[in-house]
Amino acid sequence: MKSAGKDEFEVTFKDGSKVSPSAIQKVLDAKYEVKEVGIDISGELSRSPKPEEPGLWFEPASGDRIALVNRPAKDDQDKPEDVVAKLDEALKAGKTTAKVKGILVEKDGKLSIQLAGAEIAEKK
């Protein structure tokens, strides 16, 4: 773990590691609080066959299933890019591997990434 700025830290995880805000909080000293987890990660895109799980899903090497959502607007003037639609079009075209970046959010034990950007990657 290295400092990226005042009260900000950059952490690199081994491939296949499970990453969540609550897991990070557990290993930190109690005087620190995880407020936001920025993530830049590669994985597989999919749609769930289950009607109760609509939307676009992402699965990194850890095996976690993470919902992909567009980042919220910062204010009335901000118009976030529709990254989910871009990834959905790529998935429809048969592209299944992507590198995404954004904010990892955990709510009620479920993970989502508020996308700041993404690019389609070739499988290696």
Q: What is the mean pLDDT of residues 5-34?
A: 78
Determine contact, residues 123/112, Cβ cutoff 8 Å: no
Report pLDDT for 122.
Answer: 73
Q: What's the pTM value of the predicted model, to 2 decimals?
A: 0.83
Q: Which CATH number fits domain 38-120: 3.30.450, 2.40.50, 3.40.50, 3.30.70?
A: 2.40.50
How does DSSP classify residue 15?
Answer: T
Q: What's the number of CA atoms in the CB half-sphere (13 Å) around residue 3?
A: 3
Q: What is the mean pLDDT of residues 80-90?
A: 95
Mean pLDDT in the chain? 87
pLDDT per residue over 91-114, tens digit each?
999 999 999 999 999 999 899 999
Query: How crowded is residue 22: how many other Cβ atoms within 10 Å of its Cβ?
Result: 10
Q: Binning pLDDT at 50, 70 and 90, where does residue 75 land?
A: very high
By C-alpha distance, which of 24, 52, 41, 55 is closest to 98? 41
50/4: higher pLDDT: 50
